[in-house]
Amino acid sequence: MTASCLFCRIASGELPAHRLYEDDHILAFLDLHPIRAGHALVIPRAHHVWFEDLPEDLATRIMTCAQRLARRMKAIYEVERVAMFFTGIHVPHAHAHVVPMQHVHDVTSQAYLSAGSDGYALPPQLPAAEMEEIARQLRRG
């Protein structure tokens, strides 16, 4: 735990939250600034900044909790899909967002908005050689 970390303080109980689930390893609670009603965050109790640095078992616990929440959200909000993502933008303590999607652009990228907020535009494809080079870099160790 770090004393200045907002999510460590929530995990320890120092700060309140609308808790949805908790065990010895993880905690789920409502986002204070929801994209949609039900927007939840799932965090490890231990302080890790980036999701890619989470131990595999902890990452699995977060994903399993998000899956449970997603099934519940689908039943409650009658949505076709629930988004789950990590951005690492606001609080430097890894947190998965779980959002019931009422609209196709609820959690979208600007890259998909060139047809407007009610459309859904595919970004242009990259040349094959560039794609192969990108794939080659990402396959490396």
**25 lines the binding site for Zn ion (CB under 5 A):** no
* Single-letter amino acid, residue 22: E
Dump the DSSP string for 5-53. Answer: -HHHHHHHTSS---EEEE-SSEEEEE-SS-SSTT-EEEEESS--S-GGG
| Whether residue 25 lies in the annotated active site | no
Measured between alpha carbons, how far is 131 from 126 in angstroms, rounded to an integer? 6
How many residues sit close enough to Zn ion to count as binding (CB under 5 A)?
Answer: 5
Site for Zn ion in 69-128 (CB under 5 A): 93
Measured between alpha carbons, how far is 46 from 38 in angstroms, rounded to an integer? 24
Catalytic residue among 39, 93, 95, 97: 95
Binding-site member from 5, 30, 84, 113 for Zn ion (CB under 5 A):
5
Quote the least distance from Cβ 88 to Zn ion, whole Å.
Answer: 12
**54 lines the binding site for Zn ion (CB under 5 A):** no
Number of C-beta neighbours around residue 123 at 10 A:
10
What 8-state DSSP symbol labels residue 129? H
Stretch that binds Zn ion, among 42-50, 76-84, 111-119, 128-136 (CB under 5 A): 42-50
Q: State the residue number with the nearest CB to Zn ion.
A: 5
**8 lines the binding site for Zn ion (CB under 5 A):** yes
- Give contact residues for Zn ion (rule: CB under 5 A): 5, 7-8, 47, 93
Active site residues: 95
